[in-house]
Amino acid sequence: MAHFKTEQDDWLIVYLKYLLFVFNFFFWVGGAAVLAVGIWTLVEKSGYLGVLASSTFATSAYILIFAGALVMATGFLGFGAILREQKGCLSTYFCLLLVIFLVELVAGVLAHVYYQRLSDELKQHLNRTLTKNYGQPGATQITASVDRLQQDFKCCGSNSSADWQRSTYILSQEAEGRWVPDSCCKTVVVRCGRRAHPSNIYKVEGGCLTKLEQFLADHLLLMGAVGIGVACLQICGMVLTCCLHRRLQRHFY
């Protein structure tokens, strides 16, 4: 009877090891996805960060990068712990899973909070950025962000191209007679902003505000979906790790 119980325990340990190994592989892939999304956000979309009032969006991306790198490192530790059947490594693996889960929870809360106030922040800040900061000394990054925003989204102004008529830059001599910045033009050439006809500049309903708000909302949704997916894997992993740890304790003691 005792021999049969030992064989049954051996079979359960092998079964749990294979399950945890498969989980750990998907967990590692999920970590790579989290890392990729975070890096993509900062590298490809960093040009828009200059027009945002808070750093919450960028902070969420940095947290994703940190969590993704930690997930991948933890995944390697998990493979070693499973193959060696060391209870100490399994305990460390479990603790790291818990830490990563908490980090992703913080990132998720930040993304949710930012999503709730996204519309109000953009309405208050974007128009002020266009009218007060664009083209001003010391605001090179903001100017570049607005130019890229208008070209990428094919828009002009916060709500419409008329917003630029209140711009400090457009009202100054530096504008050289422009009605809008050159980045509003469908084909950008020097001083093309002097002609504000719809055939020359972008006339988009809702302006850049609507397009940027939709872009950020979609991106936050993607970040949240990836984070939730990895978090679900982590919960499964923590359960499997606990089960394997208990079985190993019973097996050796």
Q: What confidence tens digit (pLDDT) does each residue in 194-240 have?
A: 988 888 898 877 788 888 888 877 877 777 777 777 777 777 777 76
Joined tokens for residue 84: 């060696």
DSSP 192-246: GGG---TTTB---TTHHHHHHHHHHHHHHHHHHHHHHHHHHHHHHHHHHHHHHHH
- The CA distances from residue 116 to 34, 36, 120, in Å, are 22, 25, 9
Residues of the chain by 3-state class (helix, strand, coil), percent to 5: 80, 0, 20
Q: Quick one: pLDDT at residue 185?
A: 93
In this predicted structure, the answer to whether residue 19 has a pLDDT above a threshold of 60 is yes
Give pLDDT, residue 236. 74
Bridge partners of residue 201, in order along the sequence: 185
Q: Say which residue the tokens 């909302």 belong to.
A: 217
Tokens standing for 7?
């064989």
Mean pLDDT, to the nearest integer, of 72-77? Answer: 80
Measured from the Cβ of residue 146, the count of other Cβ atoms closer than 10 Å reads 27
Contact 17, 82 (CB under 8 A): yes
| pTM, full prediction | 0.67
Q: What is the pLDDT of residues 230-246, one digit of tens each?
A: 777 777 777 767 766 66
- Where does the pLDDT of residue 184 fall: very low under 50, low under 70, confident under 90, or very high at 90 and above? very high
Assess whether pLDDT exceeds 60 at residue 1. Answer: no
Whether 157 and 164 have beta carbons less than 8 Å apart is answered as yes
